[in-house]
Amino acid sequence: MPISAQPPDRRGTVEKPYSALNLRLILAAFGLVVCTVLSILLFRAGLTVPGWLLAGWAVVAVVDIVVVQFRRRARRRAEGGRGHSLFE
């Protein structure tokens, strides 16, 4: 079995890899949940500066989720509604 840079029957190449938008969406959602929960816990513990830092990171995660959703919609329109796996 030859080992190549990418699994067989995939659209991407070494020069033009396929996108991982779905994985990026999941990671941003995970970051949003973790930062929000930890921020709330830090505010309740009286640690306001770290709480605000984590709240800021949660806002960054929300912005990333919005950007990824716009890119996924544009990709779906360009490809005619074809679905993608988690890693495409």
Helices 21-44, 48-78: crossing angle, 10 deg rounding: 160
Let me know: does 20 contact 87? Beta carbons within 8 Å: yes
Residue 87 has pLDDT above 60, yes or no: no
Q: What is the pLDDT of residues 12-56, one digit of tens each?
A: 666 666 667 888 899 999 999 999 999 999 999 999 999 999 999
Span 58-71, average pLDDT: 93
* Alpha-carbon gap, residue 82 to 71, rounded angstroms: 14
| pTM metric for this prediction | 0.73
Residue owning tokens 């929000």: 36
Please check whether residue 52 is in contact with residue 35, taking contact to mean a CB–CB distance below 8 angstroms.
no
